[in-house]
Amino acid sequence: MLRKLAGALGLTASLCFAQDDAVVITATRFPDAKRDLPVGVTLISADDIQKSASSNLADILAQFGLVSIRDNTGTPNQQIDLRGFGITGDQNAVVMVDGIRLSENELSAAQLSTIPLESIERIEIVRGGGAVLYGGGATGGTINIITKRLEAGRSSGYGIARGGGYGTKEVRAGYRGMGQTLGFALDASHEDTEGYRRNNRFRQSNITGLLEARGAEGRTYLRTTIGRQDLHLPGALTEAQIAADPRQAGPVGKTTRDDGSATFGVARNAGRHELAAELGYWQKQAPASFPGFEVDTRVERRSFLPRGKFRFDALGREHDATIGVDFEDWDLDSRSTFGTRRGTQENIALYALGNFWATPSTRLVLGGRTQESDVSLAPNSASHRLSAYEAALRQRFAGGWSAYGKFGTSFRLANFDEICFAACASPLLKPQKARAGELATEYEARGARLRLAAFEIHLQDEIYFSPLVFDNINLPPTRRRGLELEGAWQAAASLNLRASFAWTDAEFRSGTIGGTDVSGKKVPLVPRVIATAGAAWSITSQQRFNLHARYVGRQYYDNDQVNAFARMPAYALFDAKFEQRAGRASFALELRNIFDKEYYSYGIWTSAPTFSAYPQPGRALYASLAYRLD
């Protein structure tokens, strides 16, 4: 299968649909031209999201964004991994909505299922770094979900009903409108599914609202969200249980989660300069019960993020610098069968990022961040002074070619769950630190685009849960390195092809874990190869057919740092979607896992000649009916 898919990549990755005039935000925290930035940015558009045969945002990221995902709990909010961090992938990639962190300060996956798909304008994925602008946890990269802006004098709305495999029922609706100065948006959704496994029912309801006032000099807005989840967790199955019945449930748990957030934001133009700030509040209440164990966790986060983009002239050219301050604090109150945990974390950071034009085709970026962090999780506390920097250069050449290189450092603090797992670490775990470099070339011309990148990341004191000692530890030195290729091709006016490929090598450079030498061993749960391919065919102006393929190569099981057990099987998934439009209405059929592949994206070696895993859904058919006012 890998050879066949590699051949398809060779045909379709030579060119890609150009987005050289796209404007992105993540790499500078202000709008900037994508083709000028010395970073690799993958864009997933609203149209890409509509093309997908899934309404799960993690699946969409995997289909279009060259992102590794895994289900290690039985929840739709799967783990996200950029550049090969394995079980700590979530903690090494910052997920944001409009620049506000969605990633949590615990071992919980970002709750992507709470984001209304129709509210998304695009998703910007910046691989490798981001600590200068966004702080800790960005070593693998950042994923920024940009929501749709209100447009003056325009209104739009939608209603979607979807149902199908495994008892899935879903409804989504929204409306947005903007006058000359005032506007609002409202999105609501509800999903109820029995899930692939027995005792795996998932129910979720979300409401997102936006109020906005706009003037000649800028905008002021208030965004609020509320959501509730109820989820049954069927647990992992043994190898024998999977062979007998992969849909059965193991030890069953149940969790309920209530989320709420509010963000007040201001953006202003001050002559040549731009000013912006967000004041945010987020909270969750999450009681859960498992056989012999109960826990009730409440977390609150407050943030204030003022910044400015200041333009200045030098050597006959205009340059700019983004300068900002981040204030963040977290409060944790968790009560369980084993006791009570109360913790706080306060971060104060100052950062600056300068963009300089050495020539009309040469852009240099220099940036740095200094951060003070105070962490307390009774009875322990610690203070850290952390820093990060980056330097990057992009050179444009004739004929649509360009190249960029970047080097930088990043850091990560242990989250609340990592500090207190089997026992509360004393002293607290050291901050994780990393340095990384990347070289890449891109082609953008005549409706085509290609990106080829090579990277290497060296980490010290990587924070990691080790089943060898059944606790969170600071690892011996580790390394990630790899190659990434992304491309697509507008083969005809009605046919768009795309493909991507990543080769990743993650290994322990030296040292021991629990008395066992792991020098040169591969980090578990990092696929050596990930590849995707897709085609979008506009059969007529009212009909469209989309096909998606994703290949995930072999990887070592969790708990196998010594690489003593067999590797997890590779798998390839194929999904398809057919859309029929009729005016403002549209009908779609979605077929997931066309060939009914039996697979799992997470497995753990049980130190015997066997393993446990979370079987994933087989073939399923879904139908949806949508009506749009725009």
The mean pLDDT of 253-268, rounded to a whole number, is 95
Please indicate, yes or no, if residue 27 is contained in any of the structural domains: yes
Specify the CATH number for the domain of residue 164. 2.40.170.20
pLDDT at 469 over 90: no
Cis bond before residue 379 (omega within 30° of 0): yes
Question: What gap in Å lies between CA 104 and CA 84, rounded to an integer?
Answer: 20
Q: Following DSSP, what letter does each residue of 536-578 receive, concatenated?
A: EEEEETTEEEEEEEEEE--BPPBT-TT--SPPBPPEEEEEEEE
Please indicate, yes or no, if residue 579 is contained in any of the structural domains: yes
Question: What gap in Å lies between CA 370 and CA 389, rounded to an integer?
Answer: 9
- Lowest average pLDDT, out of 74-78, 157-161, 600-604, goes to 74-78
pLDDT at 129 over 80: no
| Torsional class of 439: left (φ above 0), alpha (ψ -120 to 50), beta (otherwise) | beta
pLDDT at 6 over 50: no
The mean pLDDT of 105-127, rounded to a whole number, is 90
Q: Which domain holds residue 139?
A: 2-256+274-336+395-628
Predicted pLDDT of residue 16: 37
Please indicate, yes or no, if residue 264 is contained in any of the structural domains: no
pLDDT at 575 over 90: yes
The mean pLDDT of 282-310, rounded to a whole number, is 93
Return the percentage of the chain with pLDDT > 70, whole number. 95
- Of the pLDDT bands very low, low, confident and very high (cuts 50, 70, 90), residue 22 is confident
Predicted pLDDT of residue 566: 94
Query: pLDDT per residue over 484-494, tens digit each?
Result: 999 988 888 89
Per the model's pLDDT, the better-predicted residue between 15 and 612 turns out to be 612
Question: What gap in Å lies between CA 464 and CA 421, rounded to an integer?
Answer: 12
| 65 and 44 Cβ atoms separated by less than 8 Å | yes
Query: pLDDT per residue over 555-566, tens digit each?
Result: 999 989 899 999
| 158 and 116 Cβ atoms separated by less than 8 Å | no
Sign of dihedral through CA atoms 101, 297, 92, 504?
A: negative
Question: What gap in Å lies between CA 142 and CA 94, rounded to an integer?
Answer: 5
Predicted pLDDT of residue 17: 38
Please indicate, yes or no, if residue 267 is contained in any of the structural domains: no
Q: Following DSSP, what letter does each residue of 312-340 receive, concatenated?
A: EEETTEEEEEEEEEEEEEEEEEEEETTEE
| 490 and 17 Cβ atoms separated by less than 8 Å | yes
The mean pLDDT of 144-157, rounded to a whole number, is 92
Predicted pLDDT of residue 426: 56
Predicted pLDDT of residue 14: 35
Predicted pLDDT of residue 339: 83
Per-position b or e across 163-173, b if 16+ CB within 10 A of its CB = bbbbebebebb
Please indicate, yes or no, if residue 600 is contained in any of the structural domains: yes
Please indicate, yes or no, if residue 351 is contained in any of the structural domains: no
Predicted pLDDT of residue 2: 37
Location of structure tokens 């981040």:
326
Task: Tell me the Cα Rg of the chain.
Answer: 24
- Lowest average pLDDT, out of 37-46, 237-246, 367-376, goes to 37-46
Please indicate, yes or no, if residue 361 is contained in any of the structural domains: no
pLDDT at 18 over 60: no
Predicted pLDDT of residue 534: 95
- Of the pLDDT bands very low, low, confident and very high (cuts 50, 70, 90), residue 468 is low
**List of residues 6+ apart from 83 with CB closer than 8 A:** 127, 128, 140, 141, 455, 457, 480, 482, 504
pLDDT at 19 over 80: no
pTM value? 0.93
Q: What total of structural domains would you count in the chain?
A: 1
- Lowest average pLDDT, out of 40-49, 246-255, 359-368, 463-472, goes to 463-472
Predicted pLDDT of residue 410: 96
Query: pLDDT per residue over 385-432, tens digit each?
Result: 999 999 999 999 998 899 999 999 999 998 888 887 655 655 678 899
pLDDT at 88 over 60: yes
pLDDT at 12 over 70: no
Dihedral, CA of residue 446, residue 449, residue 450 and residue 453, to nearest 10: 130
Average pLDDT, the chain: 90
Residue 538: count other Cβ atoms within 10 Å of its Cβ: 16
Residue 464 sits at φ, ψ, to 5 deg, of -155, 140
**List of residues 6+ apart from 529 with CB closer than 8 A:** 2, 501, 502, 503, 504, 551, 552, 553, 570
Residue 282 sits at φ, ψ, to 5 deg, of -145, 145
